[in-house]
C-alpha cells in the first residue's frame, strides 16, 4: 500500500502507516516504550516524559507518543540518555508521591511503581514541598486520593473526550495544579455520571473503586470476562475476584462493543448479586403464606396445577412470560416448554412493552425488525437523528459514541419533548409535543420532497409504494405540523435539510475520511415505540430512511436501540405468541412441522395472547394459570391497579425471579433463579451481536440457573428434552434457527457474531439490507397523524410522559438493591416546568399528588426546564411512587404495545 513506509527502531526495520506515531509503530513491532500519560483511546498528552526516545539528527529527546513516524528516521528507545531522562521523570514524580506502596490499593498494578522498579529508582532523591491531600470518600463509587495523582491527565481526557461529562479538570497552575471538580465540590454536585472511566484509566492509586479498598492485592485476583446484565448495549465486563468474592468490575478492553467503557450500572451496580434477600430456596404458598419448600415439591406443585388447569379449561387458559434478562438458551427453553409441554402459544415478554412496534413496523417496511447497522457506525455518521431516545441515560455507552461524533463535526438532530443531555450536542433540537411524532416526521419528509432532496436513485432501485406515499405527505407542510407538534415550521425545515445532507458546512472530511455528506443515521427508542400509534411512528421513520437512501450502507440506517440485555435474543428465540425461533410463524404449517419433528410433539398453530391481553384475559376468566420468569408486571405494566387485581384473582401463579418482586408477592409458587453473572449461555445485544456469557459466581443457596429449572420442569411434566447444558441447548436452537445456524458456543468463544450468520463459514452480518431488503424491496407506507389515545382536558390538564433515569433499571429490583446506585438516586420525582409549578404554587422539592383517570400517587417534585409547560415526566423505577398507577393501557392496534409515553394527569400540592 502506498501509505506504508519503513523507519528504523532500535536497529530494526519497522513498517508503519501514515498517521502513526513512533510509539504506535514501536508497539506494532512489539517494542515496548514506557508511558504514563498515554492511553490508546485518547489524544496524546505528552506530559509525563517517560516515552521519550532519541531520534538521529534531533538535538533533544522527543516524546514518542506525539512524534509522527516518518519514512527513514532512526529511533532509539533505550540507551543511557533516554534512561536517564526517564529516571529523572520518575524521580520527580516520586518526590511528591506518598511512599506507601505497601498499603496502597494499586500495589502491584501501579504503573508508577512498575517504572520505578524497572528503572531502579529506589528512593525519593528530591526533597521538597509535598501535597498531602486528604482522601476524598464523598461519593459512593470510588475513592479519590490526589496526593497520589501524577497529573497524567488520563482521567480528565476520559471524562471530556470519551464520556463527554466534563466533571473534572485541571485546576490551578504550577505546584498547586491538581485534578478537581469545579470549585472542589463533591462529584454528586457536578456533571459526573459515575461511569468510572477515570478510575479504570488512572495509572496510580489516586482513583480506586470503593469495593476494592482493603480487599487484597492485584496479583491475588482472578478475572472472568462476561457481558453486562443491564441494558441492550451488551458491554463486555471483566469481573475481578478474590477467593470467590467480587472485588471490582472494569470495562473489557477487548470487547468490540464497548472497548473498555461502561456506565455506572455496569461498573458499580453489581452488588445486588450478593444481597442477603436474594431468593435462595423455592417457596410454596401454604395457609396463605409463602414458605420454603424442596425443589421436588415446588416443581410438583407447579406441574400438577398447570396441567390440571390446562386439562380442565384447555391449554389456552395458561399463559407464560419469558424474560429479556435471561439468556437465549433460557428463552428458547421457555418457549419450548410453553408450546411443547403446555400446548399453547400464549407466550410473550417485555419486548411487548418496548419494541413490539419496531418488530411489527420494520417487518412491514423491510421484512425484518432489528437495528440495521452496528453501534460503531454512529461514530462516523455525518448526521444522526436521535428521536425518542434518551441515549445518555438509557444506553450511555452508545451516547459516548454519538457525542464524540458530534464533537468531530457530525450534525446531531435531537427530537424529544424533554431537554435531554444530548441536546447540549445538537445542532437542532425539536421539542415536539408527546405523541405527535408522525406529524413531525411527515413534515420533515414533506420538506425533503418539496426541496428536491430525496434520493431518487435509491427510491427507484430499492423500494416500492413511493407514489402513494409521496401524495400522502404533500399536505404535511411544516406550517401544518407546527400547531400539532409545537415545533416552529422553520426548525422543521432546517432539520430536514440537515438530515438530507443539504447543510454541507460543518464537515471535516480530512479528520473523518469515511464521511459522505449524504449519509444519516436514525436512532430511536421508547419515545417512538411506546405509543398507541407506535407502529405508525416506526413506519414513518422507515419512510424517512428510504426517502433519503439511508439503508444498506455504513454510517446510516434505522437503529432502534433495544432495551434489556437480551431482549433482541428473547425475540429471536421465539418468546413471542406468533413466532417460533427465528421469526418462523406458528401458523405456517411447513415451518411448524420442522419443530414438531425436532421435538416430537404436535404444536399449537393459533397465535397466542400478548402481555396486556393476557392480563385482561385473567380478568375475564380466560387465563387461569400463569408462569412468569424474570419479569415484574406488577410494576412494569401500564395501569397497575388493574394488573394487581388480575394477579390477585388468578387461580395459580408461578414466579421465577432472583428477588421477591412485587409480582412474586402474589405467587403461589416462587422459584429462585440465577442472575446473569451466575450462569453461562449467550445474550444478543441491540446490534444483533451474539455474545457468550460466563459464570462469575455460583447461584446463592439452592437457587438454580433458569435453564436448569426449565429442563427440570419439563422432566417433572414427563417430557425429557434430552439436553444437559447451555451449549447443548444452543446447538439445538441453532439447528432450527436459520439466522443463528452458523454459530456455535465454540465459535462465539473466539469472537461475537452478528446475525444473520447462516453457515459456519459465514462471518456474520453487521449491516442489514445491503443488496436487497429481507422482503425484497423496501415498502413505503402511508401513515397519517392521529392524536394519542388520551389528551389533556380541563380535568386532567397536563401530559404525563414516563421513562428512565441513568441510575436505575426498570422496576428497581436490582438497581435499588445496589448501594451505590441507590445512594445516587434514592427517590422518585416528577419533573415540572417552572411556569407550571408557579401556577400550581408548588416549589422544588415539595410533595405533590399526581392523578390520572386510573389512580393517583404522591411524589416529590423537581422544578426544571427539562420539560415544557404542558408536560410532566416521572421515572417508573420507584414502587412507592409508581408511574404505572397513572399510565394508560391503550394499545397500538398492530403491535399491542401500550401508550406509556402519553396520558393526561392533574398535579396538586399534597395535603399535610
Ligand atoms: N438506566 C437505564 N437504562 C436503561 C433502562 C432502564 O430502566 N434504566 N431500560 C432499558 C430498556 S428495556 C429500554 S427499552 C431502553 C429505553 O431507553 P429510552 O427509550 O431512551 O428511555 P425512555 O426514558 O423510556 O424514553 C426515551 C425518551 O423518549 C422521550 N419521549 C417521551 N415522549 C415522547 C414522544 O411522544 N415522542 C418522542 N419522540 N419522544 C418522547 C422522553 O423524553 C425520553 O427522553 O433503556 C434501556 N436502558
Ligand atoms: N411507565 C412505564 N412503564 C414501562 C416503561 C416505560 O417507559 N414507562 N417501559 C417498559 C419497558 S421498555 C420494559 S422493557 C418493561 C420492563 O419490565 P420488566 O421486564 O417487567 O421489568 P424488570 O424490572 O426488568 O423485571 C425483570 C425481573 O427479572 C428479575 N431478574 C433479573 N435477572 C434475572 C434472571 O437472570 N433470572 C430470573 N428468573 N429473573 C431475573 C428481576 O429481579 C425483575 O423482577 O417495562 C415497561 N414499563
Ligand atoms: Mo424495554
Q: Give Cα separations from 26 to 12, 46, 72, 203 (angstroms).
A: 10, 16, 14, 21
What is the pTM (predicted TM-score) of this model? 0.96
Closest CA to 432 of 901, 806, 102: 901
Q: What is the pLDDT of residue 507?
A: 44
**728: which strand partners?**
none
Q: Could you tell me if 890 and 604 are in contact, meaning their C-beta atoms sit under 8 angstroms apart?
A: no
Share of the chain above pLDDT 90, in %: 89
Q: What is the pLDDT of residue 171?
A: 86
Q: How would you class 463 by CB atoms within 10 Å of its CB: exposed for 0-12, middle for 13-18, buried for 19 or more?
A: buried
Q: Could you tell me if 801 and 901 are in contact, meaning their C-beta atoms sit under 8 angstroms apart?
A: yes
Q: What is the pLDDT of residue 241?
A: 97
- CATH class of the structural domain 356-560: alpha beta
Q: Could you tell me if 693 and 679 are in contact, meaning their C-beta atoms sit under 8 angstroms apart?
A: yes
Q: How far is the CA of 564 from the centre of ligand 3 (A)?
A: 6
The reply to whether ligand 2 has any atom less than 6 angstroms from the CB of 353 is yes
DSSP 814: T
Q: What is the pLDDT of residue 912?
A: 65
Q: What is the pLDDT of residue 811?
A: 97
Q: Which of 353, 659, 875 to mutate to test the pocket of ligand 2 (most atoms within 8 A of CB)?
A: 353
Kindly list the protein residues that place their beta carbon closer than 5 angstroms to ligand 3, a single-atom ion: 354, 563
pLDDT greater than 50 at residue 23: yes
Q: Is the dihedral of CA 897, 876, 525, 851 positive or negative?
A: positive
Q: Could you tell me if 752 and 256 are in contact, meaning their C-beta atoms sit under 8 angstroms apart?
A: yes
Ligand nearest to the CA of 881: 2
Q: What is the pLDDT of residue 522?
A: 98
Model pLDDT for residues 280-321, shown as the tens digit of each residue: 999 999 999 999 999 999 999 999 999 999 999 999 999 999
CATH number for the domain running over 283-353+566-754: 3.40.50.740
Which of 39-53, 167-181, 664-678 holds the top average pLDDT? Answer: 664-678
End-to-end Cα, the chain, rounded Å: 77
Question: Which protein residue has the closest C-alpha to ligand 1 atom 38?
Answer: 388
Question: Which protein residue has the closest C-alpha to ligand 1 atom 24?
Answer: 803
pLDDT greater than 80 at residue 506: no
Model pLDDT for residues 447-461, shown as the tens digit of each residue: 999 999 999 999 999
Closest CA to 539 of 445, 438, 388: 438
Domain residues of the chain, as ranges? 4-78, 127-274, 283-353+566-754, 356-560, 798-909
Mean per-residue pLDDT for 461-467? 97
CA atoms within 13 A on the CB side of 529: 28
Task: Count CB neighbours of 723 within 10 A.
Answer: 21
- 269 or 43: whose pLDDT is higher? 269
The reply to whether ligand 1 has any atom less than 6 angstroms from the CB of 144 is no
The reply to whether ligand 1 has any atom less than 6 angstroms from the CB of 394 is yes
Give the chain's radius of gyration (CA, Å): 29
The reply to whether ligand 1 has any atom less than 6 angstroms from the CB of 418 is yes
Closest CA to 266 of 231, 242, 225, 240: 231
Q: Which of 321, 350, 809 to mutate to test the pocket of ligand 2 (most atoms within 8 A of CB)?
A: 350
Model pLDDT for residues 561-620, shown as the tens digit of each residue: 999 999 999 999 999 999 999 999 999 999 999 999 999 999 999 999 999 899 999 999
Question: Which protein residue has the closest C-alpha to ligand 2 atom 3?
Answer: 636
Mean per-residue pLDDT for 507-518? 47
Q: In the structure grid, which three cell numbers stand for residue 556, read together?
A: 446510516
The Cα 565–Cα 683 span in angstroms is 7
pLDDT greater than 70 at residue 58: yes
The reply to whether ligand 1 has any atom less than 6 angstroms from the CB of 689 is no
- 147 or 477: whose pLDDT is higher? 477
Mean per-residue pLDDT for 407-420? 96
The bridge status of strand 283-286 relative to strand 245-251 is unpaired
pLDDT greater than 50 at residue 505: no
Q: Give Cα separations from 355 to 370, 537, 556, 560, 669 (angstroms).
A: 9, 12, 20, 8, 30
DSSP 222: E
For all residues of the chain together, what is the average pLDDT? 94
Task: Count CB neighbours of 59 within 10 A.
Answer: 6
Closest CA to 872 of 911, 912, 828: 828
Task: Count CB neighbours of 454 within 10 A.
Answer: 19
Q: In the structure grid, which three cell numbers stand for residue 170, read together?
A: 485541571
Residue 509 pLDDT class (50, 70, 90 cuts): very low
Q: Could you tell me if 374 and 398 are in contact, meaning their C-beta atoms sit under 8 angstroms apart?
A: no
Mean per-residue pLDDT for 266-274? 97
Q: Give Cα separations from 740 to 268, 332, 338, 682 (angstroms).
A: 33, 13, 22, 12
Model pLDDT for residues 310-366, shown as the tens digit of each residue: 999 999 999 999 999 999 999 999 999 999 999 999 999 999 999 999 999 999 999
Residue 480 pLDDT class (50, 70, 90 cuts): very high
Q: Give Cα separations from 105 to 208, 316, 438, 599, 669 (angstroms).
A: 7, 59, 55, 54, 45
pLDDT greater than 70 at residue 129: no
- CATH class of the structural domain 127-274: alpha beta
The torsion angles phi and psi of 406, rounded to 5 degrees, stand at -65, -40
Model pLDDT for residues 800-831, shown as the tens digit of each residue: 999 999 999 999 999 999 999 999 999 999 99
The reply to whether ligand 2 has any atom less than 6 angstroms from the CB of 643 is no
Q: In the structure grid, which three cell numbers stand for residue 651, read together?
A: 387461580
CATH number for the domain running over 798-909: 2.40.40.20
Q: Give Cα separations from 114 to 101, 384, 428, 875 (angstroms).
A: 11, 44, 48, 46
Q: What is the pLDDT of residue 744?
A: 97
The Cα 857–Cα 907 span in angstroms is 10
Model pLDDT for residues 791-803, shown as the tens digit of each residue: 999 999 999 999 9
Q: CA-CA-CA-CA torsion for 260, 264, 265, 267, nearest 10 degrees? A: 40
Q: What is the pLDDT of residue 131?
A: 66
Q: In the structure grid, which three cell numbers stand for residue 608, read together?
A: 397466542
Q: In the structure grid, which three cell numbers stand for residue 25, read together?
A: 509503530
Q: Give Cα separations from 150 to 131, 159, 165, 208, 739 (angstroms).
A: 11, 17, 22, 14, 51
pLDDT greater than 90 at residue 176: no
- The alpha carbon of 802 is separated from its chain's Cα centroid by a whole number of angstroms, namely 18
Q: In the structure grid, which three cell numbers stand for residue 214, read together?
A: 482493603
Mean per-residue pLDDT for 390-398? 98
Question: Which protein residue has the closest C-alpha to ligand 1 atom 22?
Answer: 803
**What residues contact 449, with CB distance under 8 A and at least 6 apart?**
470, 473, 474, 547
CATH number for the domain running over 4-78: 3.10.20.740
Residue 511 pLDDT class (50, 70, 90 cuts): very low
Q: What is the pLDDT of residue 314?
A: 97
The reply to whether ligand 2 has any atom less than 6 angstroms from the CB of 681 is no
The Cα 410–Cα 282 span in angstroms is 53
Task: Count CB neighbours of 356 within 10 A.
Answer: 29
Q: Is 690 helix (H, G, I), strand (E, B) or coil?
A: strand
**What residues contact 331, with CB distance under 8 A and at least 6 apart?**
322, 323, 324, 349, 566, 569, 570, 573, 574, 575
Residue 504 pLDDT class (50, 70, 90 cuts): low
* 328-336 helix and 726-736 helix, angle to the nearest 10 degrees: 70
Q: How would you class 628 by CB atoms within 10 Å of its CB: exposed for 0-12, middle for 13-18, buried for 19 or more?
A: buried
* 80-95 helix and 111-119 helix, angle to the nearest 10 degrees: 130
Q: What is the pLDDT of residue 518?
A: 81
| DSSP-assigned states of every residue in 695-715 | --SPPSTT-B-HHHHHHHHHH
Closest CA to 271 of 578, 635, 671, 697: 697
Q: In the structure grid, which three cell numbers stand for residue 660, read together?
A: 421477591
Q: Could you tell me if 185 and 136 are in contact, meaning their C-beta atoms sit under 8 angstroms apart?
A: no
CA of 564, closest atom in ligand 1: 12
Site of grid cell 421465577: 656
The Cα 530–Cα 896 span in angstroms is 10
Task: Count CB neighbours of 620 within 10 A.
Answer: 8
- The alpha carbon of 44 is separated from its chain's Cα centroid by a whole number of angstroms, namely 29
Amino acid at each position: 500500500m502506498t501509505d506504508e513506509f519503513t523507519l528504523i527502531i532500535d536497529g530494526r526495520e519497522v513498517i508503519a502507516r501514515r498517521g502513526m506515531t513512533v510509539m504506535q509503530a514501536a508497539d506494532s513491532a512489539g517494542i515496548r516504550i514506557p508511558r504514563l500519560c498515554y492511553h490508546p483511546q485518547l489524544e496524546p498528552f505528552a506530559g509525563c516524559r517517560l516515552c521519550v526516545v532519541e531520534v538521529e539528527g534531533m538535538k533533544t529527546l522527543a516524546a514518542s507518543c506525539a512524534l509522527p513516524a516518518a519514512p527513514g528516521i532512526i529511533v532509539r528507545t533505550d540507551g543511557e540518555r533516554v534512561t536517564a531522562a526517564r529516571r529523572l521523570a520518575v524521580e520527580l514524580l516520586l518526590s511528591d508521591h506518598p511512599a506507601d506502596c505497601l498499603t496502597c490499593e494499586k500495589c502491584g498494578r501501579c504503573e508508577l511503581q512498575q517504572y520505578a522498579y524497572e528503572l531502579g529508582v529506589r528512593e525519593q532523591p528530591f526533597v521538597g514541598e509535598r501535597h498531602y491531600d486528604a482522601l476524598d470518600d464523598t461519593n459512593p463509587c470510588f475513592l479519590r486520593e490526589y496526593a497520589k495523582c501524577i497529573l497524567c491527565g488520563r482521567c480528565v481526557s476520559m471524562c471530556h473526550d470519551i464520556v463527554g461529562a466534563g466533571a473534572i479538570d485541571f485546576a490551578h497552575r504550577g505546584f498547586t495544579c491538581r485534578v478537581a471538580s469545579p470549585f472542589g465540590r463533591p462529584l454528586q454536585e457536578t456533571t459526573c455520571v459515575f461511569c468510572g472511566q477515570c478510575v479504570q484509566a488512572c495509572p496510580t492509586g489516586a482513583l480506586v473503586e470503593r469495593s476494592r479498598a482493603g480487599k487484597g492485592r492485584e496479583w491475588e485476583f482472578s478475572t472472568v470476562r462476561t457481558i453486562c446484565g443491564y441494558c441492550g448495549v451488551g458491554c463486555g465486563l471483566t469481573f475481578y475476584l478474590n477467593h470467590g468474592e467480587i472485588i471490582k468490575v472494569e470495562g473489557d478492553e477487548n470487547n468490540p462493543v464497548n472497548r473498555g467503557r461502561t456506565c455506572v450500572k455496569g461498573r458499580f451496580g453489581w452488588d445486588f448479586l450478593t444481597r442477603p434477600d436474594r431468593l435462595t430456596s423455592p417457596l410454596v404458598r401454604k395457609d396463605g403464606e409463602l414458605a420454603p419448600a424442596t425443589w421436588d415439591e415446588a416443581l410438583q406443585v407447579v406441574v400438577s396445577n398447570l396441567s390440571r388447569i390446562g386439562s380442565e379449561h384447555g391449554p389456552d387458559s395458561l399463559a407464560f412470560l419469558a424474560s429479556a434478562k435471561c439468556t437465549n438458551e433460557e428463552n428458547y427453553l421457555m418457549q419450548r416448554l410453553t408450546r411443547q409441554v403446555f400446548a399453547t402459544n400464549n407466550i410473550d415478554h417485555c419486548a411487548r412493552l418496548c419494541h413490539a412496534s419496531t418488530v411489527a413496523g420494520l417487518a412491514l417496511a423491510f421484512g425484518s425488525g432489528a437495528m440495521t447497522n452496528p453501534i460503531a457506525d454512529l461514530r462516523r455518521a455525518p448526521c444522526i437523528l436521535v428521536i425518542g431516545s434518551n441515549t445518555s441515560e438509557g444506553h450511555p455507552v452508545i451516547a459516548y459514541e454519538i457525542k464524540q461524533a458530534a464533537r468531530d463535526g457530525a450534525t446531531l438532530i435531537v427530537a424529544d419533548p424533554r431537554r435531554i443531555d444530548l441536546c447540549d450536542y445538537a445542532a437542532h433540537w425539536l421539542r415536539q409535543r408527546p405523541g405527535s411524532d408522525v406529524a413531525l416526521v411527515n413534515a420533515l419528509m414533506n420538506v425533503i420532497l418539496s426541496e428536491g432532496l430525496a434520493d431518487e436513485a435509491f427510491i427507484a432501485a430499492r423500494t416500492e409504494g413511493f407514489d402513494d406515499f409521496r401524495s400522502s405527505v404533500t399536505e404535511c407542510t411544516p406550517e401544518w405540523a407546527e400547531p400539532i407538534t409545537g415545533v416552529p415550521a422553520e426548525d422543521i425545515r432546517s432539520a430536514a435539510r440537515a438530515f438530507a445532507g443539504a447543510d454541507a458546512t460543518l464537515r471535516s472530511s480530512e479528520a473523518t475520511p469515511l464521511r459522505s455528506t449524504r449519509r444519516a443515521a436514525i436512532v430511536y427508542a421508547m419515545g417512538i415505540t411506546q405509543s398507541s400509534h407506535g407502529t405508525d411512528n416506526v413506519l414513518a421513520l422507515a419512510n424517512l430512511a428510504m426517502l433519503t437512501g439511508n439503508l444498506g450502507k455504513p454510517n446510516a440506517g434505522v437503529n432502534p436501540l433495544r432495551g434489556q440485555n437480551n431482549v433482541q435474543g428473547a425475540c429471536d428465540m421465539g418468546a413471542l405468541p406468533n413466532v417460533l425461533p427465528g421469526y418462523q410463524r406458528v401458523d405456517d404449517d411447513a415451518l411448524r412441522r420442522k419443530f414438531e419433528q425436532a421435538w416430537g410433539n404436535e404444536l399449537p398453530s393459533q397465535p397466542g395472547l400478548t402481555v396486556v391481553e393476557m392480563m385482561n384475559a385473567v380478568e375475564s376468566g380466560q387465563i387461569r394459570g400463569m408462569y412468569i420468569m424474570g419479569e415484574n408486571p406488577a410494576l412494569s405494566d401500564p395501569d397497575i391497579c388493574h394488573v394487581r387485581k388480575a394477579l390477585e384473582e388468578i387461580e395459580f401463579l408461578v414466579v421465577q425471579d432472583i428477588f421477591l418482586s412485587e409480582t412474586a408477592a402474589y405467587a403461589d409458587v416462587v422459584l429462585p433463579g440465577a442472575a446473569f453473572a451466575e450462569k453461562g449461555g449467550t445474550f444478543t445485544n441491540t446490534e444483533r451481536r451474539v455474545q457468550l456469557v460466563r459464570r462469575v459466581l455460583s447461584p446463592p443457596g439452592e437457587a438454580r440457573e433458569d435453564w436448569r429449572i426449565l429442563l427440570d420442569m419439563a422432566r417433572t411434566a414427563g417430557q425429557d428434552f434430552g439436553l444437559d447444558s447451555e451449549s447443548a441447548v444452543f446447538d439445538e436452537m441453532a439447528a432450527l434457527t436459520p439466522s443463528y445456524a452458523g454459530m456455535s458456543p465454540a465459535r462465539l468463544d473466539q469472537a461475537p457474531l452478528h446475525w444473520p450468520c447462516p453457515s459456519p463459514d459465514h462471518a456474520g452480518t453487521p449491516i442489514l439490507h445491503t443488496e436487497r431488503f429481507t422482503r425484497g424491496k423496501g415498502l413505503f407506507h402511508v401513515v397519517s397523524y392521529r392524536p394519542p389515545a388520551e389528551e389533556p382536558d380541563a380535568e386532567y390538564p397536563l401530559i404525563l410522559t414516563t421513562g428512565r433515569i441513568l441510575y436505575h433499571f426498570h422496576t428497581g429490583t436490582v438497581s435499588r438493591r445496589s448501594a451505590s446506585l441507590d445512594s445516587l438516586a434514592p427517590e422518585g420525582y416528577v419533573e415540572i416546568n417552572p411556569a407550571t409549578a408557579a401556577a400550581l404554587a408548588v416549589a422544588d422539592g415539595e410533595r405533590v399528588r399526581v392523578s390520572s383517570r386510573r389512580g393517583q400517587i404522591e411524589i416529590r417534585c423537581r422544578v426544571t426546564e427539562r420539560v415544557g409547560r404542558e408536560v410532566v415526566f416521572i421515572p417508573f423505577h420507584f414502587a412507592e411512587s409508581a408511574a404505572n398507577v397513572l399510565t394508560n393501557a391503550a394499545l397500538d392496534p398492530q403491535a399491542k404495545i401500550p401508550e406509556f409515553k402519553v396520558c393526561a394527569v392533574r398535579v396538586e400540592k399534597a395535603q399535610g
